[in-house]
């Protein structure tokens, strides 16, 4: 796991915490202009809410940092850490883009943090309960065979990553499908009802898919595809990373 990439999200999370503090400070300042009685009630309520929120957020961010540094912790700390990531994500995205960090970099950091939390949870499943979900852009654009309906329509010519992914699925016993978009990816997830997913995609689609599966409490390890020809065109994936991701879910 890339520590530098994960650190980006943590640092932006801390910056977001400061932004939240500044917002509450501004509200506090405005409220000081109210009448004494109203001001007393409002300021007391705001102060109590602010302190509780900041403590909860700081504790959550702290548990996330500790979890990433030292590995798996108690179940409640894992849930707290994941909740903090989801809570901070919108603000992290805005703060990062404001200071010139691309959305793609932030999504990459989010994916790596998600992967480490998923691996640290240590959940193991039968191979048939694991679904490998790949995008159709891995298929060579010159290939005439329709594999989004049935991946076994692949003729195993070796010109793209699909052949290697089929071999991995056969070796490990996991399910493997190719989706033509987010709608079909969710359709396959519903059809196969997996207990865990290894998803291959770009930063944007992985982030969206991980968020969707988090709602359904299905753990996901994301593997970024490689785009030497640009997005959505003859992409590829490092097969060793896919094998490793599967092993996180299937090997004791």
Q: What is the pLDDT of residues 109-132, one digit of tens each?
A: 889 888 988 888 889 999 999 999
At residue 198, the pLDDT reads 98
Q: Where in the chain is the domain with CATH 3.40.50?
A: 127-250
At residue 221, the pLDDT reads 96
> What one-character-per-residue DSSP string does 55-91 give?
HHHHHHHHHHHHHHHH----HHHHHHHHHHHHHHHHH
User: Does domain 127-250 correspond to CATH entry 3.40.50?
Assistant: yes
At residue 32, the pLDDT reads 66
At residue 169, the pLDDT reads 97
At residue 21, the pLDDT reads 74
pLDDT band at 90 (very low <50, low <70, confident <90, very high): confident
Q: What is the pLDDT of residues 175-210, one digit of tens each?
A: 999 998 888 888 999 999 999 999 999 999 999 999
Whole-prediction pTM value? 0.75
Q: Are 119 and 221 in contact (CB under 8 A)?
A: yes
Kindly state the tokens that stand for 25. Answer: 């400070």
């Amino acid at each position: 796991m890339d520590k530098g990439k994960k650190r980006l999200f943590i640092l932006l999370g801390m910056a977001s915490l400061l932004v939240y503090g500044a917002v509450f400070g501004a509200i506090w300042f405005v409220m000081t202009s109210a009448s004494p009685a109203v001001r007393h009630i409002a300021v007391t309520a705001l102060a109590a809410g602010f302190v509780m929120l900041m403590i909860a957020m700081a504790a959550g961010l702290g548990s996330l940092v500790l979890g990433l540094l030292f590995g798996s912790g108690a179940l409640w700390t894992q849930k707290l850490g994941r909740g903090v990531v989801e809570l901070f994500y919108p603000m992290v995205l805005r703060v990062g883009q404001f200071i010139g960090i691309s959305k793609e970099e932030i999504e990459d950091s989010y994916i790596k943090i998600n992967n480490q939390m998923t691996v640290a949870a240590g959940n193991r499943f039968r191979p048939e309960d694991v679904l490998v979900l790949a995008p159709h852009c891995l298929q060579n654009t010159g290939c005439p065979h329709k594999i989004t309906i049935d991946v076994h329509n692949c003729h195993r010519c070796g010109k793209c990553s699909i052949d290697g992914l089929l071999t991995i699925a056969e070796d490990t016993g996991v399910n493997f499908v190719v989706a033509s978009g987010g709608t079909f990816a969710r359709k396959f997830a519903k059809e196969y009802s997996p207990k865990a997913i290894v998803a291959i995609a770009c930063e944007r689609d992985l982030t969206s898919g991980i968020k969707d599966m988090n709602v359904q409490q299905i753990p996901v390890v994301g593997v970024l595809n490689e785009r030497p020809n640009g997005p959505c065109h003859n992409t590829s994936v490092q097969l060793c990373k896919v094998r490793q991701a599967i092993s996180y879910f299937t090997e004791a």
